[in-house]
Amino acid sequence: MDPTALSLTLKLATATTLILVLTGLPLAWWLSTTQWRGRALVEALVTLPMILPPTVLGFYLLIYTGPDSTVGGLWNQMMGTTLPFRFEGILLASVLFNLPFVLRPFVTGFSGVDRRLLEASWCLGVSRVSTFFRIALPLAWTGVVSGIVIGFAHTVGEFGVVLMMGGNIPGETRTLSIQIYDDVQAMRYDEAGQTAGWLLAFSFICLCVVSSIQRRPLST
Amino acid sequence: MNIPRSALLILCCVLSACDRSQNQPQNQPQTLTLNIAVAASVRYACDELVLSFQKANPGVQIKPTYGASGTFYAQLRQQAPFDLFLSADSEYPEQMLKQGLTDAVFPYARGRLLLWARRSAGLNVANRGLEVLTDPAVSRIAIANPDTAPYGRAALEAIRSVAGLEEKVSGKLVQAENVGQAAQFTQSGAAQVGIFAESLIVGSDLNETGDWLVISDSLYSPIRQFGAIPSWCRDRSSTEAFRDFLLSEEGQAILEKYGFSAP
């Protein structure tokens, strides 16, 4: 397994998961508690990447983050670089593409929390933020951990959108799944098979973790 | 209730530790790295060129990406961070010149087209030539995508040069993303015959396992391969040093070993 591709993949998956935990937790909490009518619309919008072909997302990202676009121009002014074919570009793509995979387990977790417990906490004078961290989050932990594990694993396995947005640049955008594609084209079947085997084992272990924690009874 | 929280805490620690360890190598730029976009036909030759160049210039690290020239051209129009582009034709670099994306375009090699089949298929390609494509045992013919790969265009041109051949074989053609994938399709047996670059058989086992014929260069327009240095190249002098090495006697000898001829 190529060490550069491995470390790049871990870096991408870690950064994607962190961003998605930070943005996904409040968003999921809001989605599972709001009574607002537009909720279904927001939920459909954030779930879109789950069924959208990666090429569609890749296409829009390439067009709307290119050097001539508004977003690309702004980024260029701030950072002095372009987004497509760079790590920052695939990170953006990865965050958007994995949003539903992290968000859905989060929402499921929060929806299972008994509202009476939250209200009891508020009535006892505990702040909303504190209630979230001390009551909601611990009770929804299976959903939260599932979301984190699935988000991380799904980023490791991403292919289409990374290839379109990132090209295939060693050390910058060549992740393990793209390394396999490249190895097969070069007819390096041994290397491709080795990487594929590791990814197979990794994905299987992740799914085992997720199903085992989802079977666990709530520890209260 | 303590288990989930400590699990989260541990996960956060692991994640942040991962991130920190990843950042370390970036903070120590000891060697200069050049990203180069190289036509898939030059793959094996380029691996050797890079090795030889780095032996003489240990301070420069060259990281090639191989693919279809047309794909790279589309990426370069979006200012993809490549420091050098080695195309499999002259058109893409010249287009870049016209669009002001480069001011340095140079020819570096001339390639040849090859008709290849697995020896175990017993098709006797070497003697039958393009006529083998109509053989009933041939149900799939791999070529590179003519829209993005110059070798795919040349392959189509060669097929069209034989009267009536295109109609007979058009249903059998399988388009690969680039010429390397066309070779892989044929090598794996997914396609019985492939038309790709001669340069791909030297560096791989296609040489020993195959039965092939170099297609007469009168059947297609010359494949003149040009390179270009994009205007946003990060280190002009090192990139030019690599280009000069490519065009030097030593560089040209390596290209020749892989079946390319002088530009």
Q: Using a CB-CB distance cutoff of 8 angstroms, which residues of chain A are in contact with residue B43?
A: 186
Alpha-carbon gap, residue B225 to B162, rounded angstroms: 25
**Mutation to test the B interface, candidates A60, A141, A185, most B Cβ within 10 Å:** A185
A187 touching chain B per CB within 8 A: yes
pTM score, two decimals?
0.83
Please report the pLDDT score of residue A216 as a whole number. 65
Confidence of residue B6 (pLDDT cuts 50, 70, 90): low
Q: How far is Cα A36 from Cα B90, in angstroms, rounded to an integer?
A: 59
* Over residues A63-75, mean pLDDT: 86
Angle at A47 between CA A41 and CA A49, to 5 degrees: 125
Across residues B237-241, what is the average pLDDT? 94
Q: Which residues of B touch A148 (CB under 8 A)?
A: 11
Sorting pLDDT into bands at 50, 70 and 90, what band is B208? confident
Residue B13, token pair as written in the block: 């620690």
What is the Cα–Cα distance from A4 to A16, expressed in whole angstroms? 18
Task: Give the pLDDT of residue B257.
Answer: 94
Among candidates A199, A84, A101, A99, which has minimal Cα distance to A147?
Answer: A101
| Average pLDDT for A120-136 | 91
Our CA-based measurement puts residue B258 at a distance from the nearest CA of chain A, in whole angstroms, of 15
Q: How far apart are CA A6 and CA A2, in angstroms?
A: 6
Phi, psi of B84 (to 5 degrees): -155, 145
